[in-house]
Amino acid sequence: MKSSPRWFTETPQSNSQRYVERFRHLAASGVDLDGEARLIDAMVGRHARILDAGCGSGRTAAALFSRGHVVVGVDIDATLVAAAREDYPGPKWVVADLVDFDLPAHGYAEGFDIVVSAGNVLSYVEVGTEVQVLERLHAHLKPAGRAVIGFQIDRYAIADFDRHVNLAGFVLEQRFATWDLQPWSASAEFAVSILRKP
């Protein structure tokens, strides 16, 4: 592990297991956990190559796999990835730091059509590593590929994000306030940004 994500430094050690149990309970209760996946599915052709960056315990990657896509989920939290492997066979699961991950070294040589990063991943990386993370996402995309990134803006200022996006070589194409595409406004608490690799 190269970085110290806020996911670890700002939460108790029991956080990962509690997160797994919370999402297992929500899934068993029939709560809709697939909203982000439905948006991504609508943005790509069939059998697309999709990278779930910061996949957690796997809900979004699994929903995309069930729609016929080729999906790789990457996360630094080994507890969450172990739960993803157990609960959702199908996607490929990789424990790695988004700061320096390299999927070709794991045998996944081909680039991705789209990256999804749902549920506050970028606002839980180590402060100061955001550009590196965005650069790694950019490097794993095919030319003209897109990245869709959602986070609460009280944890990561949108002006900082926009600066980091440009430094990493992305172009911001669209922004919404929710994953069901409610309009973005200055009073929004959440941002869903669609970035393009030019």
Ligand X SMILES: C[S@@+](CC[C@H](N)C(=O)[O-])C[C@H]1O[C@@H](n2cnc3c(N)ncnc32)[C@H](O)[C@@H]1O
- Residue (of 172, 194, 193) closest to 44 by Cα position: 194
Using the minimum distance from each CB to ligand X, give the nearer residue, 89 or 143.
89
Using the minimum distance from each CB to ligand X, give the nearer residue, 70 or 80.
80
- In the bound complex, what is the minimum distance in angstroms from residue 7's beta carbon to ligand X? 4
Residues β-bridged to residue 70:
49
- In the bound complex, what is the minimum distance in angstroms from residue 183's beta carbon to ligand X? 22
- Residue (of 77, 151, 93, 97) closest to 119 by Cα position: 151
**Measured distance CA(148)–CA(40) in Å, rounded:** 8
Using the minimum distance from each CB to ligand X, give the nearer residue, 144 or 192.
192
- In the bound complex, what is the minimum distance in angstroms from residue 88's beta carbon to ligand X? 12
User: What are the two backbone dihedrals, phi and then psi, of residue 131, each rounded to the nearest 5 degrees?
Assistant: -65, -40
Neighbours of 87 (CB within 10 A): 15
- In the bound complex, what is the minimum distance in angstroms from residue 51's beta carbon to ligand X? 12
* Interface with ligand X (CB under 6 A): 3, 5, 7, 54-56, 59-60, 75-77, 80, 97-99, 118-121, 124-125
Using the minimum distance from each CB to ligand X, give the nearer residue, 41 or 77.
77
